[in-house]
Amino acid sequence: MISRRTARHSRIARGLPALALGLTALALAVPTSLPAAAAPGGPSAGSGEKATLAAAQEKTASGRQLTAAAEKAGLEVGNATMGWRERGTERAALQQRSGLLRYGAAARSSTSSFTPKGVLGVDISSYQGNFKWSTWTKKDKDFAYIKATEGTSYKNPYFKNQYKGAAKAGMIRGAYHFANPSGAAGYKQARYFVKNGGGWSADGHTLPGVLDIEYNPYGSTCYGVSKKSTVKWVTSFTKEYKKLTGKDAVIYTTLDWWKQCTGNSSKFAETNPLWVARYGTKTPGALPKGWKTATFWQYTSNPIDQDVFPGKSKALKKLAKEKD
Identify the three-state secondary structure at position 210: strand
Active site residue 214: yes
∠ CA 262-264-269, rounded to 5°: 100
- Domain membership flag for residue 14: no
- Domain membership flag for residue 200: yes
From 76, 86, 90, 212, the catalytic residue: 212
- Domain membership flag for residue 28: no
Closest CA to 179 of 200, 143, 209: 209
Which of residues 262 and 92 earns the better pLDDT score?
262
Closest CA to 149 of 211, 68, 231: 211
The count of domains in the chain is 1
- Domain membership flag for residue 7: no
From 123, 150, 240, 305, the catalytic residue: 123
Alpha carbon distance 115, 81 (integer Å): 23
Alpha carbon distance 284, 228 (integer Å): 26
Q: Give the count of alpha carbons within 13 A of 22, CB side only.
A: 5
Active site residue 142: no
Alpha carbon distance 121, 135 (integer Å): 12
The CA-based dihedral angle spanning residues 288, 293, 294, 299, taken in that order and rounded to the nearest 10 degrees: 100
Residue 109 has pLDDT above 80, yes or no: no
Alpha carbon distance 23, 276 (integer Å): 52
- Domain membership flag for residue 23: no
Q: Give the count of alpha carbons within 13 A of 74, CB side only.
A: 26
For the question of whether the overall pTM of this predicted structure is more than 0.85, the answer is no
Q: Could you report the per-residue pLDDT of 35-78, keeping only the tens digit for each?
A: 333 233 233 434 455 555 554 444 434 578 999 999 988 999 99
- Strands of the chain, DSSP E: 119-124, 141-150, 154-155, 172-178, 210-212, 250-253, 274-277, 296-300, 306-309
Closest CA to 83 of 110, 48, 123, 35: 123
- Domain membership flag for residue 186: yes
Alpha carbon distance 299, 254 (integer Å): 12
From 90, 142, 214, 248, the catalytic residue: 214
Active site residue 90: no
Q: Could you report the per-residue pLDDT of 250-277, keeping only the tens digit for each?
A: 999 999 999 999 999 999 999 999 999 9
∠ CA 74-231-69, rounded to 5°: 15
The range of the structural domain enclosing residue 191 comes to 36-319
pLDDT number for residue 86: 84
**Region 144-155 average pLDDT:** 97
- Domain membership flag for residue 161: yes
- CATH classification of the domain holding 51: 3.20.20.80
Q: Could you report the per-residue pLDDT of 274-315, keeping only the tens digit for each?
A: 999 999 899 999 999 999 999 999 999 999 999 999 999 999
Contacts of 236 (CB under 8 A, 6+ apart): 185, 186, 187, 190
- Domain membership flag for residue 2: no
